[in-house]
Structures are given as structure tokens and as C-alpha cells.
Structure 1
């Protein structure tokens, strides 16, 4: 009553025009409401920090860690663990990925690769169809090692605290998102091939209903055992670092590793205990370029997207994109052509640097971009080109002959976090194609990455990225950080397999050249193209898929320029999760409505 009385006094003191907040003139009144929605998500303020992730429960789990005094590293590990539970078709502790990390105190940006290679028993002559799913398709699991590496270097909280939300959702259940229920239903036939997978994803022999309570008790037990390994070490007098190592060892040499190896051998796979023991996540320098005065940092090899994104930016820097109206077809045309040129270069050279040399510095030089920019006709669509020769050590002519050369798709998830101290981390993690190998590894509840499939590996003998024992296949993951004179401007990433580099490129152009706020830059219509049979082959047929929110004038103009356009759904390509910082230091989180993305700040 007191609050109501004071509210009435406040209203009486306001000028008459201010009373439009109620009644027929209120912003949400039917007759005065907006004719269109500017954005399907609101920008989320993050004055103390926050997380934006591919699922609301993951974003909330990460933000809970921040509110308990944790760092950005603690937040992304808690969020990744929850994504393992709530978005299992794209995320797993047995998957792979990259993280890009800003250490605010030093101002340095670091890259972490948690990418496993092919088992040492791999037969390189295997039929590619055997690598789509099943026990022979898997790479060594890297993600859990990445979780430990992140919190050992940049975290504060115990692993048991970080895993608690994921353990609870896996043990007690959570309402299954309708899109995940749909993916399970689509994958039913393949999941049913493997009893350990069917037991979790097809309870009672049927896909779970949308919004039904979904559980993964085996995964809950696995995550709890990892937390218990840390707790036992702490009780035995170990410091934080040694306790985290105890959890790492439990996964890579202890009972979990032994179950992985047993199940692999039993089902005809190549993974053995030695593969798991020899794995290590890898810290490295990110690839980088300067775009219109901003420093862009992205993942190095064995990510192809870092190279792709930086070269694309170098190519379009030679055009005044800001001077072109958004509805001018030439704007989108220039982006399409830059992607073609960059992909041709990346797919010619990129591979595991332990097995072959990739001319990274030359590919990302401004001089090379000026040379390759000559391939871009501002008025006509070009063919998918041959990769360039950025150094004198050009590759020999390649024979394009393979019994199977069609690229398989990939599915990923991405999340970003900023903490109270200004540290920022973007992570993109994956199981490869949807549901990865489709094979839950024994009693662990964990799916692995099918990273040996075509696309992540080259189909042509002699190519640097041809599969081989121990070699790490290429990923499309490219979490990105942008600095403005040393200060954080953007931290973001996107899932989407082959479309990741294309999505992130368009988002950056929206944010930098068009100067859009983060949510508008995320929600703007996007395109992505694919190559038939693949991006390794010069002259491949290119079809541009364009979200149907592009204006008819843009699509007609692109068609007139010679592009083959295929309209797709209005929100169909990529799923950017990111945080933008303005010059005043205000941090705003954005999340993509194309999936379940959500941002949570505090």
C-alpha cells in the first residue's frame, strides 16, 4: 500500500505528456504498438559480466559462476559442460574445439586448441563411408582436456563447482528443447544402430517428445566422477593445479580412458589407451589481421576459419563497403566474391602444421590480399578459383580423383563470456557432424567427434589435409576477439560447420562497416554458399543460400550478376553469440534467434 501510494504521488508530479506510459498510448498498447519487431532478442547489459551461449541454461550456468566470483574461464567451462547435456547433437566433453582468450591484465590474446587427432591405428585407405559415423569415425577426444587447460590457466573455482549445473541437468533432467527433439527424431535411424546411444536418445525405442524431461544418467555419473577425482586430490593435500590434473588423468589415463579404449576395441574401432595418454591441449598464438584500424584475433591451424576470416577481411578492406547502401546488391556481391577467393586459398594449403607447412604469414599479408583482390569483379560473379601462390614454394599440381569427394556437414556450438575484471573468452566446440559418431562410448554417456569425415579431411591423395594416423583434421571453429587500440571491442563466435567463417565475416562487416549494435548485427539477414562437390576443387559449382529476409531487389540483383541464388528460411544460417563493448566501456551481450541462443548478464 505504501509503494502504491508513493507511486501515485510520483505520477501526479509528472507532466501530462509523461503519462503516455499507461493507457491507450502505452508502448505495448495494441493500437500504438510497433508495426514490426526490430530484433527478436534484446541486447543484454553486462555491467559486471555475463555469458551468451547456445542455450539459456548454459548461459545461466556460466553467469552463476561469475556471480560466485569466478572468471570468464570458469564461466565458459560451466557453460560448455551444460551444453554437453542440453545440446548433445553439437557439443560433448568428447568433442573438439578452440578458445580465444583475452587476458585483461597483460593485454595479450591467447588461443587454445583442444583438438584430437586420428588414432594411430587408422587405416588411411578406409572407405570414407565408414568415417561418417560409428567406431572408426572418431578422433581422440579433446574437449575435456580443453576445459581443464582453461581453468588451470585462467580460472579460480573448483571443477566440482563448475560441473555441478551440468551434473544436475543430466541426472535430474531438463525440458528438451523442441529443436533438439526434432534433431533426435531425424537421427533416429542412425542412433538406433548403436545400443549405447539408443538407450539414452531413444528411451523406449522412440525419440523423446518436445519439452519432455530428458536425462543422461550415464553422463551425470561420468561428470560426477571427474569432480570426485579433483575433490579426493584436494582432501589428500594437493593444491588446485594438481587436483585439476587428477581430474584430467582420470579422463585420459584412468577409468574413463580405459572404458573408452575397451569399448573402441570391442566395437571394431581404432582408439586405444596410448592415443588418449599422448593427447595434450595446445596453447598458441592466434592468427591476426588489422581491419580498418581494429585488431582481429582468431584461431590458428588446425582451424581453417582463422585464416579464412582474416583473409576475407583483408580482401574487402580494399572496397568502401560503408559507402554502399545495405540494399545495394553490390555490397553482398563483394562479400560473396571475397569468401570464394579466401576459401580457395585455405582449402589448398591448410592442414595440421606438424605434417605440412602452410604459408600462414604470406596468406594473411596485405600485399597478397591486394594481388588476390584482382580476381574480384565488382559487377560479375566469378568462378570458384584455384588457390593462389603466396610464396615461391608453390604446391605441385594436384590430381583430383577420388571414389568419394562430397563434403559432409558439421555442427557446432559457440559461447562467449566477459568477467568483472574485463577478461574475455570465446569458445566454439563441436562433435563434427550432428551427433558426431552417433556412438555413445560404452557406459560414459559421451559422444565423440567424427572428425575423420570428408570435409574435415581432404578426399584427394597427396593433399596436405589427407587423413593420416595422428594427424589432426581441420575444424571450422573460429572464436574471435576484436581489440580497439588494445581495448576489448568484440568477443564472439558462431556454429555452422562450413558456414562459420562466412557467418562471422558478415557479422563483423555489419558491426564495423555498418556500425550496427550487436543484436542488429547478429539478426541481419545472412547468406552462405556451398560448393559441389567440395571447396577443395577449383571450378566447383557454387550455390548461394540466402535467407529470404533479403529484399527482392538484392536477390534479383545478385542473380543478374551471375550468382545462383537459393532462398532459404528467414533465420536459417549460423548462430552468433557475442558481446560488444563501446568506447565508454558499456558491455552489451547479443544472442542469435536462429537457434536457442540466449545472453545473461548481471
Structure 2
């Protein structure tokens, strides 16, 4: 490095060099002066722009990257008390329920992807509830947007218990302690959450139990005001007490957690849910709560450029989308394409159109429909579908391919088109995600959701809990005869796709993102940034993103496609893509997705990254 260049080294570059392992002692003295014009904190040394808004977080013993700093810190508290990645994940999820209530709830749904270092096993946990058995599939779709009839069976708390039983070490009272404190005593309300409450206040006012919590004194709470959810605090405390009482009575770790599970799914919480639902015209009943079970399964997977990618299986669509998109892209050498040029971005856009068309055609609850998962993940299927893509022109949203041809054994083919009943426009979704590694090398990614923002908008009686409105159009298909059409007991699809990457059996990466229809697209672009472009995790997270949007929905071939592009893309890029036939809509500069992830370099050093697009933060120790 020349003396001229080193004296112009900015404070962020000095910090970044240190985090990257560069030996600052090898730099000329002028670059690391402690005083004068070239000092790291001197005003003249500051850069006009910064390569990243946050510094990567070292995690030598472990760490958490979550959608809120209080959640990350709660998880790290568990790790520092000897807890596992599962303990940290449960504690962080519980805090997210309190501090990001518009996107997370113990009565919501979600997926976890888990890497157990000692066995080398990767497993997937679905904590997704289905439709209540009283649901009328021919009712008004607007009833599924919000209100008592929009309630899907709560799954998240069952997922917390399943994670803690299989991989956890600490008592539930320890895991829930941070969340109970923030709910009971309050916490400074993030300005973005205050904004969401203000935007949603008209709907929240429809439901007195919700207005009592989210509109204290009849008005939305101010940013940074101390916000409390005392009913939620009491519910979480009662669940912790059920676990503690069982332990005092001689129960082991698993049996004590079962006591808390029963308190939620057959005891006082379930009874209050059922009472309130029936009183307000909802469909949820005690039998639905009792019948629910979280489900362990094998993740879906593919190999991309020598790395093994593991993500959520059905009833998540995102694992399938991500794996098929990677299979499609792998057929091209993109190493020579400029990252800031239109050719690479065009290929990524077209790749995801094809993946969306295929997955939306077939994906459904496998208890109710045959789904050619093997065919959708086939490299041969990807090779056939890749032929649709013109490297110079945007295609119309395509008809799905015949994945059944690449599926072993006999398979019933799906009908090519379905009859519409009324409204067929997809409703949006809102989610949160977190990633954890512990000192033993175990890793867990969790993406959890209440569906659309604030879910059903209805706090269930005196529990302080919002439920998932996952039966709404989009998660369920609006077309009669489609395999993902809602039905009693059937699980609608989630977009959650927490993902783990291994390199010849060694941990490489754990990550996830919220964002509804954009989740798979966000994770896909992030992976391309890391694997193909060789970017460090924080830079890969903060790089500009696009999102493909379909009108009226992704179920319908020929749907009108708009490509939303963050405002940091250049005018030249937008112009070139428009010239290829893409319909472009500029959105905010940091508007799409919110990756929370942890990446290991070849030496094994683990670095956490968190997305500035929301209030996510990484904490390591």
C-alpha cells in the first residue's frame, strides 16, 4: 500500500481492515496515526460513502442476529448462561413477540432449520397450524384478512417447546424471563413499530382487546415511548410457572416443558382462545388446539456450486423456490457478468419468475395433495425450464412446467387451470427472522410470522396474543380446484425459508429473512452475493435488491409482472432493464427484506450480519 493511499484511509476502512484480520501494524504509520489529519477519528479521514452501515459482528463463542437488538441480546444472555442455540432461539423469539408484535407471536406460525454439529444432521421444524375444522372454504375471502374468522391454529409456542425439548438445556422460566420483563415493565417502542401501529389503528380500533394494548389511552403510542403488553406478560409468566412447578415436582427437562405445552394447548390459554373465538363468531375451538402438533421433518435441499443448501420443506414454499432458482442459475457461468450491470440482474429476475410459476402451481399441504417435490428439485427439470429464459428479453409470467415427469413412481398430474371465485388478489405478509450459533457449533435459523401485519388484528381475550391470518389469499389459493385451496384442517403455505449452508459437511452459513412474497427472492440474491460475488456477509446483506411482484398473483400464468427495485440502482441499470422489456418500479433505497445471518470463513471464524432495512441487530461474544 502506498503512503499516499494509506494516508487517505478512512476510519471505516481502518475498522473494516481490522475485522477482516488485516494486521494494522503492517500499514504505514500515517495510516494509523492517533492524532492529526490522518487519525482514524479525524473529520478529514471520513469517507463520502460507507461500504456498509453496520460492522460485521465477530462471534467466536456464539451469537445471535435477530430482527431487534433486545431479541439478539436475550439470545446471547442464554448462550452466556450455558444455553444452546435452541435456548437462544426460543428466548429471542419470545422477545420478538413483545417488541415486534406486528410480525411475531407465540400464537403465530413458522419454521426452523437446525444444524446439530456433533451428528452433522440438519433437521427442519414446522410449527404451522392449519385451518380450524369449522372453517367454511366457500365463505367471504375478506373474512380471512382479519377478524375472528381469520385465525389459523396457533403453532409457534409448540415450536418453541419442540426446539427446547430436542436441543435445549435451560428451564423455560429462564428462556422467557427477558420477554416477561419487557412485556410487564415495558420497553422503548421502536419508531418503525410506532409507525406500523399508527398506520393500522383504524383496524385495531375494531377489536377492543387489541385497542386496549396497542392504542393506550385511545391513541397510537409515540416513538420511543415505554410500551407494555401486560396481558402477554401474564400469559408468558403462567407458561414459565407451569414448567417451574413441574420441575419442583420432580419432572425432568422434557416433562417440565410438556407441562407448559399443555398449559397452552389444552389448559387455560387454549380454553381462553376457544371461549373468545366462539363468543366473537370465530371458528377456532378447543379441539383444534388439542389436535395441533409441531412437526420435525427433513429439509429440502440442493447443491449449488459445490455447497449444500438446506431450507424449509412443505408447507413452506420458499425452500422449493430457493432450491429451484439456484438449480436454474447454476446452469450459467455468471462470474464474468458485472455485478452492477443489467445482464446479471436480468438473469436473476427471469430465474425467479420460472421458480415462482412452478412452485405456485404445485405446492400445497402434502397431507391433502400430491406435490412433486423431487421433480421440482431435479437438476434435469431445471435444465428444461432454463430453456424458457432469453438472456436479452424479459418473458411474460410463464405457465408451470410438468415437474411430474421428473418424479419417481406414479403421479397424478395437476389440472392446468382453475376456476376463480371472486377476488383473486394476493394479500401481503409480514414476518421476522433470526439466526443463532452456539459455542459447540450448533446453528439454528428461525423465521416466524403472524401472516399479514398484526395477523388477524384480534388479541385473543385476555392472553395478549395475536394469531396468524395465514388462511388469507396468497397463502391459500383463490381458485377452486387448486391443491392449495383452503379446507378444514388444511395448512396454508408459508413463505418462511430459514436456510443453512454446509461445505462438505462443515458449517458455512445460517440465515433467513422476512418479507412475504419477497423472502425467497431476498435470500436468493443474498446467496448470489456471497457465493458468486464473494462478498462478506454485511456487504452481501446491504447490497441493493429487487423483488418480482405479480398482479393479481403468482398462481396465474400471464399475470402482470412488475420488478420493484431499490432506489440505489443506477439510472443506467433501470434504463437497460426497461429496454429488455421489464416493467420497473423504484421503491425506497432500503426497502426489500431483512436478512439476519452468520457466515463462517474457511478458517472457521464466524461473523454475524444484520440488515439495516429494519431494526435487526447482531450480538456476539
d(CA) in 2 for partners of 1:336 and 1:16?
47
Q: How far did residue 396 of structure 1 move?
A: 1.9
Q: Is the 2:419–2:481 contact (alpha carbons within 8 Å) kept by the matching residues of 1?
A: no
One of 414, 428, 431 as aligned partner of 2:433: 414
One of 125, 141, 144 as aligned partner of 2:138: 125
d(CA) in 2 for partners of 1:587 and 1:86?
27
One of 517, 529, 539 as aligned partner of 1:520: 539
Q: For residue 396 of structure 1, what is the aligned residue in structure 2?
A: 415
Rate the CA distance shift 1:276–1:580 in 2: closer, same or farther, 3 A: same
One of 478, 481, 486 as aligned partner of 2:500: 481
d(CA) in 1 for partners of 2:542 and 2:28?
37
One of 182, 201, 219 as aligned partner of 2:232: 219
3-state SS in 2 of match to 1:25: coil
Q: For residue 570 of structure 1, what is the aligned residue in structure 2?
A: 589
Q: For residue 460 of structure 1, what is the aligned residue in structure 2?
A: 479
What are the within-5 Å matches in structure 2 for residues 227-376 of structure 1?
Answer: 227-376=240-389
d(CA) in 1 for partners of 2:327 and 2:414?
23
Structure 1, unmatched stretches of 5+, are 1-13
Q: How far did residue 16 of structure 1 move?
A: 5.8
Q: Is the deviation greater in 397-406 or in 591-600? A: 397-406
Q: Is the 1:482–1:489 contact (alpha carbons within 8 Å) kept by the matching residues of 2?
A: yes
Deviations 1:405-457 (A, max 9, x none): 00000000000000000000000000000000000000000000001100000
Q: For residue 165 of structure 1, what is the aligned residue in structure 2?
A: 178
Q: How far did residue 17 of structure 1 move?
A: 3.9
Q: How far did residue 71 of structure 1 move?
A: 0.4
Q: Is the 2:32–2:40 contact (alpha carbons within 8 Å) kept by the matching residues of 1?
A: no
Q: Is the 1:400–1:537 contact (alpha carbons within 8 Å) kept by the matching residues of 2?
A: no
Pair 1:73 & 2:86 matched? yes
What is the aligned-residue RMSD (CA, Å)?
1.0
Q: For residue 106 of structure 1, what is the aligned residue in structure 2?
A: 119
d(CA) in 1 for partners of 2:106 and 2:185?
19
d(CA) in 2 for partners of 1:475 and 1:303?
5
Give the 4+ runs in structure 1 shifted more than 6 A: none
3-state SS in 2 of match to 1:136: helix
Rate the CA distance shift 1:15–1:397 in 2: closer, same or farther, 3 A: closer
3-state SS in 2 of match to 1:165: helix
Q: How far did residue 400 of structure 1 move?
A: 4.0
d(CA) in 1 for partners of 2:307 and 2:28?
46
Q: How far did residue 18 of structure 1 move?
A: 6.7
Q: How far did residue 19 of structure 1 move?
A: 6.0
d(CA) in 2 for partners of 1:594 and 1:309?
21
d(CA) in 1 for partners of 2:263 and 2:588?
45
Pair 1:430 & 2:449 matched? yes
Q: How far did residue 397 of structure 1 move?
A: 2.9
Q: How far did residue 15 of structure 1 move?
A: 8.8
Pair 1:181 & 2:200 matched? no
Q: Is the 1:327–1:553 contact (alpha carbons within 8 Å) kept by the matching residues of 2?
A: no
Q: For residue 33 of structure 2, what is the aligned residue in structure 1?
A: 20
Structure 2, unmatched stretches of 5+, are 1-26, 406-411
Give the count of matched residue pairs. Answer: 589
TM superposition score normalised by structure 2 = 0.94
One of 27, 31, 35 as aligned partner of 2:44: 31
Q: For residue 377 of structure 1, what is the aligned residue in structure 2?
A: 390
Q: How far did residue 35 of structure 1 move?
A: 1.6
Pair 1:547 & 2:561 matched? no
Pair 1:558 & 2:577 matched? yes
3-state SS in 2 of match to 1:23: coil
d(CA) in 1 for partners of 2:32 and 2:237?
55
d(CA) in 2 for partners of 1:206 and 1:163?
29
Q: How far did residue 25 of structure 1 move?
A: 1.2
d(CA) in 1 for partners of 2:93 and 2:367?
28
d(CA) in 2 for partners of 1:17 and 1:375?
56
d(CA) in 1 for partners of 2:68 and 2:30?
41
Pair 1:116 & 2:116 matched? no
Deviations 1:214-250 (A, max 9, x none): 0000000000000000011011111111000000000
Q: For residue 6 of structure 1, what is the aligned residue in structure 2?
A: none
TM superposition score normalised by structure 1 = 0.97
Pair 1:42 & 2:61 matched? no
Deviations 1:487-539 (A, max 9, x none): 11110000000000000000000000001000000000000021000000000
Deviations 1:124-156 (A, max 9, x none): 111001110000001000000000000100000
Q: Is the deviation greater in 467-476 or in 399-408? A: 399-408
One of 151, 154, 176 as aligned partner of 2:167: 154
Q: Is the 2:353–2:548 contact (alpha carbons within 8 Å) kept by the matching residues of 1?
A: no
Q: How far did residue 32 of structure 1 move?
A: 1.8
Q: For residue 55 of structure 1, what is the aligned residue in structure 2?
A: 68
d(CA) in 2 for partners of 1:487 and 1:21?
41
